[in-house]
Amino acid sequence: MIKKTRKTPPHGTKMSMKKQAFLLQLLALSTPLVHGFNVILAGGTGELGRALSALLAKEGHDVTILCRNAFLAAAPARVSSDFGWLGRSFLEKNPGVKLRDWDGGDLLDIVGQDWLGKYRYIRKSRS
């Protein structure tokens, strides 16, 4: 009687379809869906904004923090309690975080002209 022995396949052979599907699912679950958003945080110089901006920058997003005085927010030491402060060391540790002076009137300059074009398209389609 001849016994059939199962040999391990040599290196480089094709994987079964089930194994391929499993590996693709595993890869899809471990890979983030989106990379590199441009994120704008209003009031991001507080404790919550500091933590959120650091986390977003660490994940590869570009973060712009809108603040009343970017110069004071980036100063090495806190100058005034009237303005938010992140400090120079925070910005050096998180190169994806930028500060921008904002008085509330230049939001379209930050977001860009794409928003204006989409807004006009939406208005035309509704009228």
pTM, rounded to two decimals: 0.56
Residue-range definition of the domain harbouring residue 114: 38-126
Number of domains in the chain: 1
Any domain includes 27: no
Q: Is residue 47 part of a domain?
A: yes
Per-residue pLDDT at 68: 85
Instruction: Please compute, for residue 117, the number of CA atoms within 13 A of its CA located in the half-sphere on the CB side.
Output: 4
Higher pLDDT, 124 or 71: 71
pLDDT of residue 95: 93
**77, part of any domain:** yes
Q: Mean pLDDT for the chain?
A: 76
- Show Cβ contacts of residue 28 under 8 Å, excluding neighbours closer than 6 positions: none
Using the predicted structure, report yes or no on whether residue 77 has a pLDDT greater than 60.
Answer: yes
Residue 3 lies in a domain: no
Give the residue ranges of DSSP H helices in the chain. Answer: 17-30, 47-58, 70-73, 88-93, 107-111, 113-126
Summarised one tens digit per residue, pLDDT across range 8-60 is 555 555 667 787 777 777 666 665 666 678 888 888 888 888 899 999 999 88
Averaged pLDDT for residues 103-115: 56
Q: Is residue 10 part of a domain?
A: no
Q: Does any domain span residue 22?
A: no
Is 16 part of a structural domain of the chain? no
Residue 20 in domain: no
